[in-house]
């Protein structure tokens, strides 16, 4: 991995390469050229999910997605969750290998564990420093939720 930043999740250090952008839904984004961006899960997401064993997309290549539109599901040892588009655009490529064996996300999240490539406007993606700021807020919310204090969450937080 190239140069990286760290975010402490309790005793666990989640590392983030500085050679890419990030989405608020905890995906990394690597520009590929021609307004195409490759997406995968950040170390933060992989750590929260732990041991991903099921991945399903309800879309195909050339599907058009709105930002934050649900497009699939993921299951892991810790959670079941919907998958949401990290930006608006057209899905130009899906990592078919992961649909057959999603454990690649656990093994190589910043490499072969990528999810899909989209073509569209990536202007709302975050720099690594902006993502770390976003993580600090998200981690506070996660900690309160884990401790059963979700009702104290400010309605302005994302």
Please tell me what DSSP assigns to residue 20.
Answer: S
Radius of gyration of the chain (CA): 15
Alpha carbons 142 and 110: distance in angstroms, whole number: 23
110 within domain boundaries = yes
Alpha carbons 76 and 9: distance in angstroms, whole number: 19
Strands in 80-84's sheet, in edge-to-edge order, are 52-57, 70-76, 80-84
155 within domain boundaries = no
153 within domain boundaries = no
Provide the pLDDT for residue 150: 47
60 within domain boundaries = yes
156 within domain boundaries = no
- Number of domains comprising the chain: 1
**Structural domain of 32:** 4-144
Total length of the chain: 158
Token duo for residue 150:
């979700």
Provide the pLDDT for residue 84: 97
63 within domain boundaries = yes
Average pLDDT, rounded, for the chain: 87
- pLDDT tens per residue, range 127-152: 999 998 998 887 777 666 655 644 54
Contact 118, 36 (CB under 8 A): yes
CATH of the domain at 37: 2.40.50.100
83 within domain boundaries = yes
Nearest CA-CA partner of 19 in 100, 153, 111: 111
pTM: 0.84
Provide the pLDDT for residue 12: 76
């Amino acid at each position: 991995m190239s140069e990286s930043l760290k975010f402490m999740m309790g005793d666990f250090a989640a590392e983030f390469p500085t050679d890419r952008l990030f989405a608020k839904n905890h995906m990394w984004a690597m520009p590929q050229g021609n307004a195409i961006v490759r997406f995968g899960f950040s170390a933060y997401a992989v750590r929260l999910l732990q041991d991903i064993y099921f991945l399903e997309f309800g879309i195909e290549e050339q599907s058009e997605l709105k930002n934050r539109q649900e497009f699939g599901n993921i299951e892991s040892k810790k959670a079941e969750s919907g998958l949401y588009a990290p930006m608006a655009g057209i899905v130009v490529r899906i990592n078919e290998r992961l649909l057959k064996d999603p454990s690649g996300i656990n093994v190589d999240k910043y490499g072969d564990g990528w999810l899909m490539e989209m073509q569209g406007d990536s202007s709302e993606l975050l720099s690594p420093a902006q993502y770390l700021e976003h993580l600090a807020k998200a981690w506070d919310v996660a900690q309160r939720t884990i401790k059963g204090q979700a009702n104290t969450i400010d309605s302005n937080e994302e």
